[in-house]
């Protein structure tokens, strides 16, 4: 029995090898969109099928190696084309489980034209779901080292069949575009593993600027929104936290969170990884804490993207030791102020101020009197009654000075 089977397989092989398997003809590579190539070929008209199945083996050589087979005579591939593209194809003849192949036919696309080191470098892009159904796109890059100062860069993105040029740029000190923002795009939130093509070309009066292309996986560059409606409370020794998932088409179970907790009394810090939107932790109730939360998509629903920004800091709890010191200082200030006010009132009532600060005496006359004796007598002249007594005692009388003296 085994001999019969081996003989049958041998006969089939001999029949297959008796046929000449011919390679495809008219193999062409055509750029059909930004970073998109159409591979097309035709069956060799001289090929005999003889009840055999014909398939085609396709191998992408650059920029990224890839190999697959197809029954069709055309194939579309998305790839960065600034450094060129090359691929080859051959015919596969299958009959009763056995396969034989033809020679390869190869095609090439040349690199995009432009001077060396003039294309952009360090291209980075991030998407963001601003509201349900709308996705923004932000890209930044560095000018090429060989790009002249008058270089103008222009960015385009392609998502599926939609292509659009950047509406808003940011510039460097030479007025070269180095950032682009799309507040709204045709990128669909919630899609998985779709590609976003970014193409940047340029112009200059001094050099030919070489274009640059890069492919981004939609999952990998989506920056998740901050969790919403965060609520933190402290009940005795339990820290309780709840929040809502970020704005996103994905469900609650698709998110993971990081909880950043700082004990402001001891200075201890910790980051806790969480899979739910609520949390309870045993803490020291005598301490004060600062809390921040951020979110990301987990591997359950798709490959993780970019972590969200941290939420605003939320403070909870009170440092009892610091509060006691504050209360003591406050009481000391209040009691001191009251004591000073009371002393001031007592001093005012008892006219202490007038005793402590008597009136300033009238200053003496610095001008010399031309008639000091007569003036003194006139100044000290008593009344008529007193004059009589004084005359007996002193032995002289006080007479009124005539006006003719002055």
User: Residue ranges per domain, the chain?
Assistant: 2-109, 121-222, 226-318, 372-405
Pick from 2-6, 48-52, 82-86, 206-210: least confident: 2-6
Highest mean pLDDT among 241-255, 314-328, 368-382: 241-255
pLDDT of residue 350: 61
Give the per-residue pLDDT at 317. Answer: 84
User: For residues 382 and 81, which has the higher predicted lDDT (pLDDT)?
Assistant: 81
Helix, strand, coil in percent for the chain, rounding step 5? 20, 40, 40
Predicted confidence (pLDDT) at residue 50 exceeds the cutoff of 90 = no
Spatial separation of the C-alpha atoms in residues 187 and 161, rounded to whole Å: 11
Q: How confident is the model at residue 377 (pLDDT cuts 50, 70, 90)?
A: very low
- The DSSP result for 131-200, as a single string, is ETTEEEEEEEEE--TT--TT-EEEEEEEETTEEEE-SEEEE-TT--EEEEEESS-SPPTT--S-EEEEEE
pLDDT of residue 11: 52
Higher pLDDT: 56 or 279? It is 56
Which residue pairs from 305-309 have beta carbons closer than 8 angstroms and sit at least 24 positions apart in sequence? Answer: 305/219, 305/220, 305/221, 305/222, 305/223, 305/224, 306/126, 306/220, 306/221, 306/222, 306/223, 306/224, 307/223, 307/224, 307/258, 308/223, 308/224, 308/225, 308/226, 308/227, 308/246, 309/226
Mean pLDDT calculated for residue range 41-67: 91
- Per CATH, is 226-318 categorized as 3.40.630.30? no
- The CATH number given to 121-222 is 2.60.40.10
pLDDT digits (tens, 9 = 90+) for 135-152: 999 999 999 999 999 999
- 154-163: average pLDDT: 96
Q: How far apart are CA 156 and CA 160, in angstroms?
A: 13
Looking at domain 2-109, does it have CATH number 3.40.50.150? Answer: no
pLDDT of residue 1: 54
CB atoms inside a 10 Å sphere around CB 112: 18
Q: Which residue has the higher pLDDT, 260 or 392?
A: 260
pLDDT averaged over every residue in the chain:
82
* DSSP string computed for 76-100: EEE---TT-EEEEEEEEEEETTEEE
Q: Between these two residues, 382 and 65, which has the higher pLDDT value? A: 65
Q: Is the alpha carbon torsion for 183, 188, 191, 194 positive or negative?
A: negative
Q: How confident is the model at residue 7 (pLDDT cuts 50, 70, 90)?
A: very low
Nearest-CA neighbor of 51 among 6, 86, 11, 94?
94
How far apart CA 67 and CA 286 sit, in angstroms, is 65
pLDDT at position 392 is 33
pLDDT of 366 above 60:
no
- The predicted model gives 14-32 an average pLDDT of 81
Which pLDDT score is estimated for 284?
Answer: 87
**Average pLDDT of the segment spanning 24-38:** 96
pLDDT at 394 over 70: no
In the block, residue with structure tokens 């939107």 = 277
Stretch 103-120: mean pLDDT, rounded?
96
- Does residue 393 surpass a pLDDT of 70? no
Residue whose tokens read 């001008």: 367
Taking 90 as the threshold, does the pLDDT of residue 386 lie above it? Answer: no
Which pLDDT score is estimated for 341?
73
The predicted model scores a pTM of 0.70
Q: What is the pLDDT of residue 348?
A: 65
| pLDDT of 251 over the 60 cut | yes
- At residue 103, the pLDDT reads 94
Whether the predicted pLDDT of 239 surpasses 60: yes
Domains 2-109 and 226-318 share a fold: yes
* pLDDT for the residue 52: 82
The lowest-confidence range among 10-14, 18-22, 240-244 is: 10-14
């Amino acid at each position: 029995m085994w001999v019969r089977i081996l003989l049958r397989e041998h006969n089939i092989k001999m029949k297959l090898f008796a046929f000449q398997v011919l390679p495809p003809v008219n193999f062409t590579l055509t750029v059909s969109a930004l970073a998109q190539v159409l591979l097309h070929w035709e069956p060799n008209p001289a090929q005999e099928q003889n009840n055999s199945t014909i398939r085609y083996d396709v191998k992408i050589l650059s920029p990224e190696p890839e190999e697959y087979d197809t029954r069709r005579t055309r194939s579309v591939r998305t790839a960065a084309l600034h450094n060129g593209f090359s691929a080859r194809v051959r015919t596969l003849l299958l009959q009763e489980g056995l396969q034989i192949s033809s020679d390869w036919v190869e095609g090439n696309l040349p690199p995009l034209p432009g001077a060396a080191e003039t294309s952009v470098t360090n291209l980075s892009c991030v998407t963001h779901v601003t509201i349900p159904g709308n996705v923004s796109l932000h890209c930044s890059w560095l000018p090429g080292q060989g790009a002249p100062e008058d270089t103008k860069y222009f960015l385009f993105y392609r998502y599926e069949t939609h292509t659009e040029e950047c509406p808003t740029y940011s510039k460097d000190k030479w007025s070269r575009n180095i950032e682009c923002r799309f507040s709204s795009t045709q990128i669909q939130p919630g899609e998985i593993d779709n590609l976003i093509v970014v193409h940047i070309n340029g112009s200059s009066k001094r050099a030919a600027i070489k274009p640059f292309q890069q492919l981004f996986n939609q999952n990998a560059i989506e920056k998740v929104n901050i969790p919403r409606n965060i609520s933190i409370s402290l009940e005795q020794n339990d820290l309780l936290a709840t929040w809502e998932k970020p704005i996103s088409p994905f469900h609650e179970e698709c998110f993971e969170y990081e909880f950043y907790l700082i004990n402001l009394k001891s200075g201890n810090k910790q980051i806790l990884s969480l899979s739910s939107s609520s949390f309870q932790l045993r803490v020291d109730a005598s301490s004060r804490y600062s809390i921040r939360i951020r979110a990301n998509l987990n591997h359950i629903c798709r490959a993780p993207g970019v972590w969200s920004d941290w939420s605003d800091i939320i403070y909870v709890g009170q440092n009892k030791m610091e509060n006691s010191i504050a209360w003591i200082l406050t009481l000391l200030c209040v009691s001191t102020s009251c004591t000073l006010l009371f002393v001031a009132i007592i001093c005012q009532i008892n006219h202490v101020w007038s005793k402590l600060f008597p009136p300033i005496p009238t200053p003496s006359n610095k001008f010399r009197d031309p008639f000091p004796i007569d003036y003194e007598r006139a100044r000290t002249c008593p009344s008529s009654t007193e004059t009589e007594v004084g005359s007996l005692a002193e032995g002289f009388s006080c007479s009124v000075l005539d006006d003719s003296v002055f």
